[in-house]
Amino acid sequence: MNLRLGLDWHLRARTTRMQCFMDEPRGILYLLARSFSRILLILLTLSSGLGLAQEHSPKRKVIIDQDAAGPGGTDQQSMLLLIQSPQTEVLGITVVTGDGWLKDEVAHTLRMLEIIGRSDIPVVAGAEYPLVRRKEETELWEQQYGSFAWLGAWTPRLYHPPDQLGEMPEGKPTTKPSEEDAAHFLVRMVRKYPQEITIYEGGPMTNLSLAMAIDPEFPSLAKELVFMGGSLSPKTDDPEFVNTPRREFNLWFDPEAAHNVLLAPWKKIVCTTVDISVKTRLTQNLIEQIKTADSPAAKYVGTYARLQGQYNYLWDELSALAWLDPSLITGKDARYLDVDLNRGPGFGDTLSWAQQDAPKIHGASVEIQVDLDTQKFYKELVDLLSAPVPRP
């Protein structure tokens, strides 16, 4: 009996308190305010935590190995994209003769970094000549098998001796390159950061091959190799590839180096070929969009980017941006790659096999980019080159 009376009293008291609270509008507002404050506090805490995680998330380490002709152009613009990205840490730029002579390329790169305020990035000179191929030998080859559309530093209309500095419309640099050579720098870096560094290759592979000769573990110590090079079956009316669809300059210029690198035990290889590159174009409209920005990188591109002839492919820019944002690539394939070393008409041409057709000796399977979201690519190109230069 006493238990029942106690329960009845407790229920009446609780009901009375709730009724009084519900009858009081200020009580409802207080309850809502407390609930909202707690929710807001939770959301702010989560947001702050996510921001802190993003701020302190490790950047993607990359070494740029490039035949850095300039000013402007695909070589310099691809390097700018990698430098401009807030997600990257560019450990250094190693330079190799290709589109221009080494001395010219080093100077253009140093000056570009001065203009955008990033002279903290080391510039390291590498190979001045391919492992085996020489200019005079190539000229004899042309007499027998036909001329090349592009010979890089050896192109007759642009040629000057390698020890002379060519034109520097952007002005000569005041900073100096590293005293270390490219091959030793590459080896030292992958030893310092094993399995963390992406090697971005935008030119002939001479420096990489020399690094492998110094340290055979160099490829396996890198995180991945990303390169622009090779040509399979490009759909184009460009005369450079109509008659010689398997010839691409970066692999052709130093075929022995490319052979060594492509057969090495890389953990991952991603390739931007001529086939996908010819689906892109640098246009005056893109240049004008970039010129509207006030950033140092935009001013550099706006001043020195030039359209040359009918075909202005964004070769290296595509390779760089697709590494930064893989969603740009809408189609992929896998092939084993090598280079023709027979001293005939196909010397330096790209060789490729599907997995079931591969020869007994081959390197890692290569991810071949086949198609892309062109408009998204152009937008990201303009956005990144227009953005403020990230602080060191």
Convert the pLDDT of each residue in 175-234 to its tens digit. Answer: 999 999 999 999 999 999 999 999 999 999 999 999 999 999 999 999 999 999 999 999
Element (H, E) at 228: strand 224-228
361 vs 211: CA distance, rounded Å:
21
Same-domain pairing of 293 and 337? yes
Same-domain pairing of 173 and 285? yes
Same-domain pairing of 34 and 99? no
Domain CATH code at residue 220: 3.90.245.10
121 vs 129: CA distance, rounded Å:
24
Same-domain pairing of 44 and 72? no
Q: What is the pLDDT of residue 9?
A: 41
Domain for residue 391, yes or no?
Answer: no
Domain count across the chain:
2
Sequence-separated (6 or more) residues with CB below 8 Å from residue 171: 111
- Which of 77, 150, 81, 63 has its CA nearest to residue 109? 77
366 vs 234: CA distance, rounded Å:
18
Range of the domain at 17: 2-52
Same-domain pairing of 35 and 128? no
What's the alpha-carbon Rg for the chain, to the nearest Å? 29
Cα of first residue to Cα of last residue in the chain, in angstroms, is 81
Domain for residue 148, yes or no?
Answer: yes
Structure tokens at 208: 């990489």
Same-domain pairing of 9 and 81? no
235 vs 232: CA distance, rounded Å:
10
Same-domain pairing of 102 and 20? no
Same-domain pairing of 165 and 254? yes
Name the phi and psi angles at 75, rounded to 5: -65, -50
Q: What is the pLDDT of residue 42?
A: 45
65 vs 197: CA distance, rounded Å:
12
Sole residue written with tokens 């970066």: 250
| DSSP string for 141-170 | HHHHH---S--GGG-GGG---TTS----TT
61 vs 97: CA distance, rounded Å:
24
Domain for residue 374, yes or no?
Answer: yes
Same-domain pairing of 22 and 144? no
What averages of pLDDT result for each successive group of 10 residues across the chain (392 residues)? 44 47 47 51 44 64 98 98 98 98 98 98 98 96 94 95 96 98 98 98 98 98 98 96 96 98 98 98 98 97 94 98 98 98 96 95 97 98 97 88
Same-domain pairing of 281 and 342? yes
Residue 286 in contact with residue 383, Cβ under 8 Å? no
| DSSP string for 323-334 | HH-GGGEEEEEE
Same-domain pairing of 215 and 305? yes
44 vs 38: CA distance, rounded Å:
10
Task: Give ∠ CA 150-70-251 in degrees, rounded to 5.
Answer: 40
Structure tokens at 370: 């086949």
Domain for residue 97, yes or no?
Answer: yes
CB atoms within 10 A of CB 122: 17
Q: What is the pLDDT of residue 309?
A: 87
Same-domain pairing of 107 and 203? yes
Distances from the Cα of 174 to the Cα of 2, 77, 177, 197, 343, angstroms: 98, 21, 10, 29, 43
0.75 exceeded by pTM: yes
Domain for residue 392, yes or no?
Answer: no
173 vs 291: CA distance, rounded Å:
23
